Amino acid sequence: MVKHPADYRWSSYRTNAQGENSGLVKPHTLYLQIDQNPIERQYAYRSLFEHQLDDQDIHNIREAAQFSMPLGNERFSQQIEATLGRAIGQAKRGRPCVKEPYLEYF
């Protein structure tokens, strides 16, 4: 969409990070808790955007979101399964393979 959040017309970035006045943006409680000093708060907020995700991370996030899958390592997946009380992940597709007993004799 844009290279930087400040370039997006409907982003709250310019208000939160640069102190631009807006009649549309109301500061979120978590944003206000970043710092009491507005200048320091804006600086801290801008620092959240200093690093970009690489293309592979973006792909992984989109894929996990598309299939409603958690994104993490095996231990994380096991914790999610334990919490939910059910298996997560993609199940094997198709019917289970059944070995025909009568074929063993021929």
Q: pLDDT tens, 55-91?
A: 999 999 999 999 888 899 999 989 998 999 988 876 6
Identity of residue 105: Y
Task: For the chain, give the mean pLDDT.
Answer: 88
The pLDDT of residue 105 is: 55
- Per-residue pLDDT at 100 exceeds 70: no
- Specify the pTM: 0.57
Q: Do the beta carbons of residue 48 and residue 42 sit within 8 Å?
A: no
Domain boundaries of the chain, sorted by first residue: 5-47
Q: How far apart are CA 89 and CA 2, in angstroms?
A: 33
Q: How far apart are CA 74 and CA 88, in angstroms?
A: 11
- CA distances 5 to 34, 76, 90, 100, Å, are 19, 31, 34, 60
For the chain, give the percent of residues with pLDDT over 90. Answer: 60
Q: Do the beta carbons of residue 25 and residue 1 sit within 8 Å?
A: no
